[in-house]
Amino acid sequence: MRLDTSAIIFCDIIDNYGDAGFCIRFSRALLEYIKTVAIFTNKPSIFYKVIGKNNLILINANSEILSIFQNSRTSFEIPYSANYIIFDLFEAQAPLEFLIFFSDRSNVQRIALDYLSTEKWSEPLQGMQAPDSRILQTSDKNLLKFRQRRWYSPGISKKSGGLIWENRKSIDYLERKKAREKVLSLKETKIFGELSEEAFFICDFSYEKFRFSFFNKFAKERSFVIWSPREITLCQADFDVILHSMDLNIVRGEDSFVTAHFAASSKWKVPFLWQPYLEQNLNHKKKFLEWKNHFKHLTISNYWNLAEALSSRKYEKYDELWPYFFLDWLKLKNYMALDCLKIIKNRSLVRTLLNVQKTKE
């Protein structure tokens, strides 16, 4: 039985797949436990693309399961519930007029949900107060109740906010075959060498397009199929299936990064490389190294050499490192699967936020 709770999410889009992708996945996960979710965003059209036409029955339906509104819309569309949770995602904040409208409703919580963190500094801060600076000095009595706001961030450790477990689908052989056939038909796909049944499929979803020119040399022995999406060409559900259907995923940011862990831990054991968002003061390198520390079985230097080159944008090293990347391929797949299986079981983000935390079986 779902909780009589409504979630109201404020999320402004900066990166199409990253911010919108996480928000939609988070909303769908919340609906496993609560009755309704409303999203206020600056770009509703991006959300519709991520959800996909076949899944739009969820949107603005009579049952009001999931609604998506332009930021300029009022809050009067929110149905009555016994409890409300207002989520400020990333750097977005609920407008003050919205909070004033909600001031006469009881049992309203506010949560600031930040970007995913792989670093230990975030662990003791989970659930700590993150006051809204706009209303710290307010004299408006209607806003006083919203001063308190708790901070969380998704993460891969047991002491983090956790990951989204819900709606993670495994695929069978036929689904995998169809996905690979679909990749061959997509305009962003490039084939190196003569296509054969032994072709090696790669999804390249890095920030800066992976430099694959050297594949012309390696494709004499084996063909490579490289899918490099740069826009939203597939809905989130189809994108997830493709990540499970590749031989190697090159992912970025947050949503595809987390999904790659599930693909790696699946029966298909799809290894992946991660390119964090480029930050000043080499913070992206710190995030990468903290993530690397979670891999106790995967200690193969040939993997980590290429992974670190991708993370640091050392493109000149790809040609040199790629041939060695496959030397321990079966061990790489198995060891990464073991480590990722442990990572995805550590903690559930949604259960943490709803205070219904249980251990994943």
Matching residue, tokens 């106790």: 296
pLDDT of the residue at 290? 96
Q: Do 157 and 264 belong to one domain?
A: no
pLDDT for 225: 95
Q: Is residue 128 located within the same domain as residue 240?
A: no
Same domain, 181 and 330: yes
In terms of DSSP H, where are the helices of the chain? 21-30, 44-51, 96-101, 141-144, 173-185, 215-218, 236-245, 255-264, 283-292, 301-311, 318-325, 329-344, 349-354
* pLDDT tier for residue 312 given thresholds of 50, 70 and 90: very high
Residue 360 lies in a domain: no
User: What is the token pair recorded at 353?
Assistant: 């936020």
What does the pLDDT read at residue 343? 97
Residue bearing the bigger pLDDT, 211 or 121: 121
- pLDDT band per the 50, 70, 90 thresholds, residue 361: very low
C-alpha 207 chain-centroid distance: 15
pTM: 0.92
What's the CATH number where 227 sits?
Answer: 3.40.50
Residue range 110-118: mean pLDDT, rounded: 96
Average pLDDT rounded to a whole number, residues 160-172: 94
Q: Which residues are CB-contacts of 236 (< 8 A; sequence separation ≥ 6)?
A: 21, 24, 25, 50, 51, 52
**233 falls within a domain:** yes
Strands (DSSP E) along 62-129, which ranges? 66-70, 83-89, 108-113, 128-129
Residue 300 maps to a domain: yes
| Burial classification of residue 55, based on how many CB atoms lie within 10 Å of its CB (0-12 exposed, 13-18 middle, 19 or more buried) | middle
pLDDT value of residue 140: 81
Question: Which residues make Cβ contacts (< 8 Å) with residue 172, sequence separation at least 6?
Answer: none
pLDDT of residue 61: 43
- End-to-end CA gap in the chain: 20
Same domain, 192 and 304: yes
Total structural domains within the chain: 2
Q: For residue 102, what are the β-bridge partners?
A: none
Rg (CA), the chain: 22
What pLDDT is attached to residue 73? 63
pLDDT at 94 over 50: yes
pLDDT at residue 57 tops 60: no
Highest mean predicted confidence (pLDDT) among 55-64, 74-83, 108-117, 227-236? 108-117
Residue 361 lies in a domain: no
Structure tokens at 179: 């996905």
Answer yes or no: do 288 and 237 share one domain.
yes
Domain co-membership, 334 together with 253: yes
Question: By three-state DSSP, how is residue 254 classified?
Answer: coil
Residues 26 and 157 in one domain: yes
As a whole number of angstroms, the distance between CA 95 and CA 97 comes to 5
- 211-229 mean pLDDT: 83
Q: How confident is the model at residue 80 (pLDDT cuts 50, 70, 90)?
A: confident
| Same domain for 177 and 150 | no
Inside any domain, residue 103: yes
Q: Are 39 and 31 in contact (CB under 8 A)?
A: no
Q: Tell me if 359 is assigned to some domain.
A: no
What integer pLDDT is reported at residue 28 of this predicted model? 92
pLDDT of the residue at 110? 94
Taking each helix axis as running N to C, give the angle between helix 21-30 and helix 255-264, from 0 to 180 degrees, rounded to the nearest 10: 60
Per-residue pLDDT band at 166 (split at 50, 70, 90)? very high
C-alpha torsion sign, points 50, 52, 55, 60: positive
> Rounded mean pLDDT of 291-319?
94
pLDDT > 70? residue 130: yes
Confidence of residue 60 (pLDDT cuts 50, 70, 90): very low
Tokens of 42: 């600056």
Instruction: Give yes or no for a contact between 180 and 247, defined as CB atoms under 8 angstroms apart.
Output: no
Read off the pLDDT band of 122 (50, 70, 90): very high
Same domain? For 156 and 214 the reply is no
Please tell me what DSSP assigns to residue 59: B
Report the pLDDT value the prediction gives residue 211, as an integer from 0 to 100: 73
Query: Is the residue at 145 inside a domain?
Result: yes
Task: Give the pLDDT score at 358.
Answer: 43
Q: Supply the DSSP string of 36-48, one letter for each residue.
A: EEEEEES-HHHHH
Q: Is residue 70 part of a domain?
A: yes
Please indicate, yes or no, whether residues 77 and 190 belong to a single structural domain of this protein.
no
- Do residues 17 and 134 share a domain? yes
Does 137 score more than 90 pLDDT?
no
pLDDT digits (tens, 9 = 90+) for 258-289: 999 999 999 999 999 999 988 888 889 999 99
Whole domain around residue 62: which residue ranges?
Answer: 3-163+347-354
Average of pLDDT values for 49-74?
65
Query: Are residues 213 and 316 both part of a single domain?
Result: yes
Mean predicted lDDT score pLDDT of the chain: 89
What's the one-letter identity of residue 118? Answer: T
Q: How many residues does the chain have?
A: 361
Pair of tokens at residue 311:
């993370």
Mean pLDDT, range 236-253, rounded to an integer:
96
